[in-house]
């Protein structure tokens, strides 16, 4: 499971010219799922995101988590995070999970993050042509891979 996490002052997801998710201050999470991803990956990544200290404290130091600032989150499925670009110029997405595996894992991840944050989490629409808008705050962008826990 791979995530690109962006601290935002606002973010939204639009499908067919309709805004389906919108947040103010918080995190936009782009989530790539592999067929080998497990419940353990879901739990670990959700806790990591909920507790990631990327928000400023009263002294302007990135020392507070999404939980501490009561921020919001949007999770958007993005299979292109598993693009392999080693050969040629056309990315291969062979490592990305197919929808029959990815959709349940994505839904479980969203449910888990809602539990960890104790609030509703915005989503995209799996497989849809989405327009994701954001105002990156900082900018702060973090990449996490559950198969490479550094």
Confidence tier at 20 by pLDDT (50, 70, 90): very high
- Number of domain units in the chain: 1
Average confidence score pLDDT of the chain: 95
The answer as to whether 150 is a domain residue is: no
The answer as to whether 133 is a domain residue is: yes
Section 22-28 average pLDDT = 98
Q: Is the pLDDT of residue 150 over 80?
A: no
User: What pLDDT sits at residue 107?
Assistant: 97
Section 65-88 average pLDDT = 94
Annotated catalytic residue: which of 9, 38, 80, 141? 80
Question: Distance (Å, rounded) from C-alpha 107 to C-alpha 119?
Answer: 15
The answer as to whether 111 is a domain residue is: yes
The answer as to whether 114 is a domain residue is: yes
Residues 48-64: tens digit of each pLDDT: 999 999 999 999 999 99
Section 103-119 average pLDDT = 97
CB neighbour list of residue 115: distance below 8 Å, 6 or more residues apart: 46
| Reduced 3-state DSSP string for 86-129 | CCCCCCECCCECCHHHHHHHHHHHHHHHHHHHCCCCEECCCCCC
Query: Is 80 a known active-site residue?
Result: yes
Please tell me the least confidently modeled range out of 31-35, 53-57, 88-92: 88-92
Q: What's the whole-model pTM score?
A: 0.94
User: What pLDDT sits at residue 149?
Assistant: 81
* Cα torsion angle, 45, 47, 48, 54, sign: positive
The answer as to whether 125 is a domain residue is: yes
Section 81-107 average pLDDT = 91
| 150 CB-contact burial (10 Å; exposed 0-12 / middle 13-18 / buried 19+) | exposed
Other beta carbons less than 10 A from residue 75's beta carbon:
26
Q: What are phi and psi of 127, to 5 degrees?
A: 80, -5
Take residue 42 and report the two structure tokens written for it. 């879901």
Domain harbouring 17, CATH code? 3.50.80.10
The answer as to whether 29 is a domain residue is: yes
The answer as to whether 136 is a domain residue is: yes
Range of the structural domain that residue 27 is part of: 2-145
The answer as to whether 17 is a domain residue is: yes
């Amino acid at each position: 499971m791979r995530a690109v996490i962006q601290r935002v002052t606002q973010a939204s997801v639009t499908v067919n010219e309709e805004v389906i998710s919108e947040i103010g201050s918080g995190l936009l999470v782009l989530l790539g799922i592999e067929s080998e991803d497990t419940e353990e990956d879901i739990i670990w990544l959700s806790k990591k995101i909920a507790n990631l200290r990327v928000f400023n404290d009263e002294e302007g130091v990135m020392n507070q988590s999404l939980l501490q600032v009561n921020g919001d989150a949007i999770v958007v499925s993005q299979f292109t995070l598993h693009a392999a670009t080693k050969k040629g110029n056309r990315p291969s997405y062979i490592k990305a999970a197919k929808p029959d595996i990815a959709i349940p894992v994505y839904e479980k991840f969203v449910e888990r993050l809602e539990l960890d944050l104790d609030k509703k989490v915005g989503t995209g629409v799996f497989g849809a042509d989405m327009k994701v808008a954001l105002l990156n705050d900082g900018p702060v962008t973090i990449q996490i891979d559950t198969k490479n826990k550094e």
